[in-house]
Amino acid sequence: MTFPALVEPAAELTIDEVRRYSRHLIIPDVGMTGQKRLKNAKVLVIGAGGLGSPALMYLAAAGVGTIGIVEFDEVDESNLQRQIIHGQSDVGRPKAESAKESVAEINPLVEVVVHAERLDNDNVFRIFEGYDLIVDGTDNFATRYLVNDAAYFLQIPYVWGSIYRFDGQASVFWPHATLEDGTSAEAPCYRCLYPEPPPPGMVPSCAEGGVLGVLCASIGSIQVNEAIKVLTGIGDPAVGRLVIYDALELEWRKLKVRKDPNCALCGENPTVTGLIDYDDFCGAISDEAADAAAGSTISVTQLEHMLKEREEGTRDFVLVDVREPNEYEINKIPGSVLIPKGDFLNGSALEQLPSDKQIVMHCKSGVRSAETLAIVKGAGYADAVHVGGGVVAWVNQIDPSQPSY
């Protein structure tokens, strides 16, 4: 499939630019117009790590006029095996600053915008707005779904890549893509390919499982390859296709990815109509929450027993549902009171809790309640517990008559 160029050409190239980009200019498909499009393009790279390093360097060398970098981390010695935009003397420095300097050294004609913050629900629209295309180099599922959803709501195409040990994947997610004739390309999003994140702990990260350093270059350069094609409207970008690379077998494969009419985001009856709690969705919990939950997690069967005892008057405790009011309307554990997680974060929830009763907390799946458990324990409720699996487990195992979501 061919798509119209994403970016209008800049008015002109300077003499310096003509000299610098001459090897592009003499390719007929790129030419002066294609290079002017690159000059006018604004590309945001998420992460200056394994994939972000080669992506940023080649985007800069190619003459993409404005490059944004989202990165809050600092350079660690263990990054240098693959994150080639950083050098030995950058260890301990902010990655965004180090990356910015490297880009300036590769191509001083490129404008670099640093977003030195962790991408989250509160800043994602502000950061994404104004960019033509996004290159996603993140390594965790919560951020991937956040990027996918935010890019969809803003109608910005993005090039996704992922790496692990010797295996790499890449694709272009552009659900709003239209063809040359103006009709919809019926292109999928990341959720069409992966509707659900893997269960927490099932897929090890590169920090846990390792990654062949040079694999980052293979996939990161594919991402830039696809970005250039989408920006300039040349070739056949990997929209609706998944590129799979096996470095050990030296094998590239391409699989078709179809738009899922039941996709929660871009399908016919979407259920994701705004940003969601991505940590909760992906089951990622902080170290503090994991510590608090260790030895203080009960099952829904135990909770059912405790609720019976409470009814009989032989036990007393407060069951707190820390979800949002709209979730509480869908389903609930009988006898629970609603105090959303945000009230624990701002401290107002603690005033509503009795000091002489045990606190039992639950949420949808057990992630948010583990986070609030850490707060409540920190406030002195030593015997507080939370319910593993949350209301999802309650509905599945105890009360299937309630709807799930």
The pattern of x and - marking residues 125 through 154 that bind Zn ion according to CB under 5 A reads: ------------------------------
- Helix, strand, or coil (residue 385): strand
- The amino acid at residue 353 is L
Active-site residue, 192 included: no
CB of 70 to Zn ion, least distance (A): 23
Indicate the residue among 136 and 321 with the shorter CB distance to Zn ion: 136
CB of 194 to Zn ion, least distance (A): 10
Nearer to Zn ion, 164 or 190 (CB): 190
Q: 228 or 265: whose CB is closer to Zn ion?
A: 265
CB of 357 to Zn ion, least distance (A): 45
Whether 282 is catalytic: no
Tell me the number of residues near Zn ion by CB under 5 A.
6
In whole angstroms, how close is the CB of 187 to Zn ion at the nearest point?
A: 9
Question: Which of 150, 206, 263, 376 touches Zn ion (CB under 5 A)?
Answer: 263
* Per-residue b or e along 267-281, where b marks 16 or more CB atoms closer than 10 Å to that residue's CB: beeeebeebbbbbbb
Per CB under 5 A, the segment of 64-72, 116-124, 243-251, 263-271 that binds Zn ion is 263-271
266 binds Zn ion (CB under 5 A): yes
Measured between alpha carbons, how far is 229 from 51 in angstroms, rounded to an integer? 18
* CA atoms of 101 and 86, how far apart (whole Å): 9
Give the shortest CB-281-to-Zn ion separation in angstroms.
15
Q: Which residues 6+ apart lie within 8 Å of 51 measured at CB?
A: 135, 137, 161, 163, 216, 219, 220, 223
DSSP 198: P
Of the candidates 112, 90, 264, the residue with the CA atom closest to the CA atom of residue 189 = 264
CB of 391 within 8 A of CB of 333?
yes
- Regarding 191 and contact with Zn ion (CB under 5 A), the answer is yes
Binder to Zn ion among 30, 192, 257, 373 (CB under 5 A)?
192
What is the contact mask toward Zn ion in residues 203 to 242, using x (rule: CB under 5 A)? ----------------------------------------
> Given the complex with Zn ion, which of 240 and 366 has the nearer CB atom?
240
Under the criterion CB under 5 A, does residue 177 sit at the interface with Zn ion? no
The neighbouring-strand residues paired with 46 are 70, 136
Under the binding rule (CB under 5 A), the answer on residue 189 touching Zn ion is yes
Segment lying near Zn ion (by CB under 5 A), choices 36-44, 184-192, 271-279, 304-312: 184-192
Examine residue 84 and tell whether it contacts Zn ion (CB under 5 A). Answer: no
CA distances from 318 to 210, 291, 321 (A): 44, 22, 10
Nearer to Zn ion, 188 or 233 (CB): 188
Pull the structure tokens for residue 39.
């000059």
Residue pair 138/92 in contact by the 8 Å Cβ criterion: no
DSSP secondary structure of 150-195:
HHHHHT--EEEEEEEBTEEEEEEE-TT-B-TTS-B-----HHHH-S
Closest residue by beta carbon to Zn ion: 263
Nearest distance, CB of residue 64 and Zn ion, angstroms: 27
At a CB cut-off of 8 Å and minimum separation 6, what does 249 contact? none
Query: Which residue out of 189, 192, 206, 282 is catalytically annotated?
Result: 206
Q: CA-CA distance, 212 to 228, in Å (whole number)? A: 25
Tell me: does residue 257 bind Zn ion (CB under 5 A): no
Chain contacts with Zn ion (rule: CB under 5 A): 189, 191-192, 263, 265-266
- By annotation, the residues acting in catalysis are 206, 363
